[in-house]
């Protein structure tokens, strides 16, 4: 079955950086995406990359986050720079049209 494993989260001060990793298996992963779910909010995509390498970002992260494909099959990353307190959330990877199964996510906490 489809599985996603996210890693790389942690506690960081405002202005800091983190790099999230995703390893997927069991499916076909074309347009890859990162999602986040902040307390009291719905899970929503924030970055995606097509099979051709075209990227798209939500305005809230544009210019600060970078999604990229890994050299290993079905891996991708989210480089997060200049983190804000409002970026605190659980981050998930999936395809842009998401599979019904989700990983456990990785917690990102931005706090001084």
Can you tell me whether residue 85 is helix, strand or coil?
helix
Ranges of beta strands (E only) in the chain are 3-7, 10-12, 18-25, 32-37, 44-49, 55-57, 65-69, 75-80, 89-95, 106-110
pLDDT of residue 48: 97
- The per-residue pLDDT for range 68-106, each reduced to its tens digit, is 999 898 999 999 999 999 999 999 999 999 999 999 999
Per-residue confidence (pLDDT) for residue 28, from 0 to 100? 87
Mean pLDDT of the chain: 96
Cα gap 109→112, rounded to integer Å: 10
Mean pLDDT of 62-68: 98
Contact yes or no for 56/82 (Cβ under 8 A):
no
């Amino acid at each position: 079955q489809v599985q996603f494993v996210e890693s790389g989260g942690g506690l960081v001060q405002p202005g800091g950086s983190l790099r999230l990793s995703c390893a997927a298996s069991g499916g076909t992963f074309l347009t890859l995406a990162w999602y986040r779910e902040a307390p009291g909010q719905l899970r929503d995509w924030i970055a995606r990359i097509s099979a051709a390498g075209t990227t798209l970002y939500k305005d809230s992260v544009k210019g600060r986050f970078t999604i990229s494909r890994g050299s290993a099959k079905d891996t991708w990353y989210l480089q997060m720079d200049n983190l804000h307190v409002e970026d605190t959330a659980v981050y998930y990877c999936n395809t842009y049209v998401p599979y019904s199964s989700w990983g456990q996510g990785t917690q990102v906490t931005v706090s001084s």
